[in-house]
A = this chain, B = another copy of it.
Amino acid sequence: MSVRAAPPEAPSTRKGRATRERVITAAADLMYRHGVAGTSTPAVRDAAGVSSSQIYHYFTDKDDLTRAVIAFQTETILSNQAPLLATLDGVEALRSWRDVVVDAARQQNGAGGCPLGSLSSELSDDHPGARDALAASFMAWSEAIRAGLEAMIDNGTLRPETDAATLSLALLAAVQGGLVLAQAQHTTDALEAALDAVIAHIHDHAVLPA
């Protein structure tokens, strides 16, 4: 690609936004299935049904497109989970969130892993910009979980001194590790075991006596 004087501007028309979205969605799908290294710009172009010049109109380079995919995957996960997490009213509701996570993995027999976890595994060591974006994504995800635990503190389900920040990291790690193992083992056993263990710990340590 030629050197550009400035990064592409955000599309100002509805059609432009739709084209940009179509490129991101196609790239996200290809990168999820084949990794970033295994996803070429021509493959994105063909999958999105756009021209190469349209891709380069909206994205400076592959790193720029990859950052847009990270933002897209983060938004997808959070828009699915945050409403559920923000209104947690008890341990049963936490278990319902766990079921949503497990069911999603089970539907694809564990294949694919977590879109963000897979991107992080591929990119974090060699691409500092992507690593920063992924660290921020994981932070946003753990903050959404933390919001759920804090809602449970607020409504009296969990003790006020419950360490919601640490427990939200434990739950997110259980999700990530469970999905790594599901991808290799094609079962959700480890995902369920890890989430159940952390939720049991939350339940037994933090729930106010009845």
Q: Hey, which bits of chain A sit against chain B, CB under 8 A?
A: 33-35, 37-38, 111-113, 117-118, 120-122, 124-126, 131, 134-135, 138-139, 142, 166-167, 169-170, 172-181, 183-186, 189-191, 193-194, 196-198, 200-202, 204-205
Contact = CB atoms under 8 A, between A and B. Distances in A.
Given A176-B180, A194-B169, A117 B112 contact: no
A117 to B, nearest CB: 5
Contact of A189 (B134, B169, B185, B202): B169
B181 A180 contact: no
Copies of this chain, tallied across the complex: 2
B125 A33 contact: yes
B183 A167 contact: no
Given A124-B111, A205-B204, A170 B197 contact: yes
A196 B167 CA distance: 10
B135 A186 contact: yes
